Chain A
């Protein structure tokens, strides 16, 4: 047992906790029974305070490993501490891909379930929770096998439940068959936001994967200029030479914390200009490796250190199709306030699943990376909360580090159901995190 300082990927609000590294489901149950407060933690990729617990016990899931044999239909059982990178290293050479991947391979399956992660294919395939057939969950009331048919209430409270219903130890899901390790990518540049959104509405259904990068630093006619990339897994017929090789580890790393002001309006504007100019006006059928297409940021480990000592926050919200103008207004609000935003990602969501706190809802989602520092930022984000709430939308908890308890209650109308289930399996309120305390998700 060690006392460690833990924070999320955004490196804000670190707190000290006792860190345990249980190696089996029984060990997890044992640790949980002894703890007055505990939360599971994987690779610490949630941006805010979801996987830390000040003064409590943090149960690392990394020793809960193991990847079972892959059945003919792609069904596989995996330890919850296995990362997507580790999983892909095994499955890609055998011709299988994970059905949903977020923008990084450096997350564990347990963490991916707690956040109910989505990827570039949400408009078609839903989020990770939609592909989970079964899992093992350790709660203060005992250890359970849960699935959409066995204990469905607890299952859908756990999908997207931010780890607050227990510790996931094992996951069974169905993989997606691939013939090659390449994606065929179509890239198009758009001069403004309306144009790219129209193109996404018109054409996303023709592609399995689609995402747009939006420049939030330009004003006026070019406000929200964007690069749209869409792709499909390449089949054997598409390529002259085929291979099935898993993406390699990060080649670059950031050796020290950059000065806090490195990412400022000027440098971000310059970067955005470069990125926008370097994209082709229109290109079809470009071969990209799985790693390049799905996990571009994994090429540099510790890229969060570029934001300096004060760290950064990510703001990701979702609104229905009918409220698409909130996306426009949010970007306008940011670009007019001079708050710099690096990498704004725009994507269409398909229908929501049954996860009580699962984030995706049918419509649009926009994710923004924002360095901490500008004094206007807290107020601007509070304003965006109001816009999102008025539009019936919500903010992604796995990215959050600054919402208020009141806002979350309106954004997630099924929260009372979630809390009822949580209180049933956790009557002594042992499962908690700094996020849960901040957003009043833990009864007391």
Chain B
């Protein structure tokens, strides 16, 4: 069970081998996380993340393999993760995502569809199953990794941004639907983060490391904030960016 400070004991992480997910997991384990179930695509990376969780203080870890391009795998993956966690799941983190290669993907129907599947359809299917289970449990939290890219979609990454925008808006509604169920959902909107996913890309303003994102998320978990921005200042930066006239927006953001 989660304690009074929002520190969970039993955690399921979907997309558990991503750099941000691993940074968050480490911090959760250093606090009270006891059981950590990591689900993802690559067994080697998941095993690495599981070892890391144990190093940081977890006493039990397990892994679940799924393919986010196959939407039908979502339900089973979540069910299996919950069973492996055992009694009660305090926190589900949705960290499945793929940045893709916009220039290539935008002219390829299969690639564009794949971006939707990984960033939107599979996460929604998995969140639906997780939501059912947590509501039946009478308590629990869901943390969904969105992105500032979801706030206003840029032409240079509209497949990723668009899919995240869909997930982000859908989760706002899902969060409201959970009122009174004992379950809550929080969105995380990080800015650019130095990870394997963004390696080789030019660095934009307000870029942070994964540990800064993780620290902001951990702080956010003990609050009731519906959206956790990382770094927090982006909340105000995007208040302005969101309302820029299109020609200026294109000039500023679509470089």
Contacts and interface: CB of A to CB of B under 8 A. Distances in A.
Q: Do A and B come from one complex?
A: yes
Interface of A: 3, 5, 10, 12-17, 48-49, 54-56, 309-311, 313, 372, 375, 377-378, 401-405, 434-435, 437-438, 444
A143 to B, nearest CB: 28
B88 A54 contact: yes
A49 B90 CA distance: 14
Contacts of B87: 437, 444
Interface string B1-33: 111110101000000000000000000000110
Given A404-B32, A437-B88, A13 B138 contact: no
Nearest to B3: A402
Contact of A13 (B2, B137, B180): B2
Contact of B1 (A10, A13, A309, A311): A13
Task: List 5 A-B pairs, minimum CB-CB distance, nearest first.
Answer: A16-B138, A12-B4, A16-B182, A401-B4, A15-B139
A14 B138 CA distance: 9
A62 B224 CA distance: 32
Main secondary structure of the interface of B (DSSP, over half): loop
A405 B139 contact: no
B86 interface: yes
A17 B138 contact: yes
A444 B86 contact: yes
B229 to A, nearest CB: 17
A435 B9 CA distance: 12
B32 A54 contact: no
B195 interface: no
Nearest to B180: A5
B226 to A, nearest CB: 14
A437 B181 CA distance: 20
Given A16-B138, A55-B137, A311 B4 contact: yes
Nearest to A313: B4
Contacts of B32: 404
Given A54-B88, A54-B182, A13 B34 contact: no
B219 interface: yes
Contact of A54 (B5, B139, B224): B139
A378 B1 contact: no
Contacts of B182: 5, 14-16, 54
Contacts of B223: 310
Contact of A405 (B4, B34, B138, B180): B34
Interface of B: 1-5, 7, 9, 31-32, 34, 86-88, 136-139, 180-182, 219, 222-224
Contacts of A56: 138
Nearest to B32: A404
Contacts of A10: 4
Nearest to A373: B222
A15 B3 contact: no
29 contacts: A3-B138, A12-B4, A12-B5, A13-B3, A13-B4, A13-B139, A15-B182, A16-B139, A16-B182, A17-B138, A54-B1, A54-B88, A54-B139, A54-B182, A55-B139, A56-B138, A372-B222, A375-B219, A378-B7, A401-B4, A402-B3, A402-B4, A402-B5, A402-B7, A435-B1, A437-B1, A437-B88, A438-B1, A444-B87
Contacts of B88: 54-55, 437
* Residue of B4, B31, B86, B219 ringed by the most chain A CB atoms within 10 A: B4
A378 B139 contact: no
A123 B62 CA distance: 50
A377 B5 contact: yes
A438 B5 CA distance: 13
Contacts of A309: 224
B60 to A, nearest CB: 12
Contacts of A405: 34
B5 A372 contact: yes
Nearest to B5: A378
B195 to A, nearest CB: 25
B142 to A, nearest CB: 15
Contacts of B180: 5
A16 B180 CA distance: 8
Nearest to A436: B1
Nearest to A382: B31
A377 B7 CA distance: 12
A401 B219 CA distance: 18
A422 B7 CA distance: 28
A402 B219 CA distance: 16
B35 to A, nearest CB: 11
Contacts of B3: 12-13, 401-403, 438
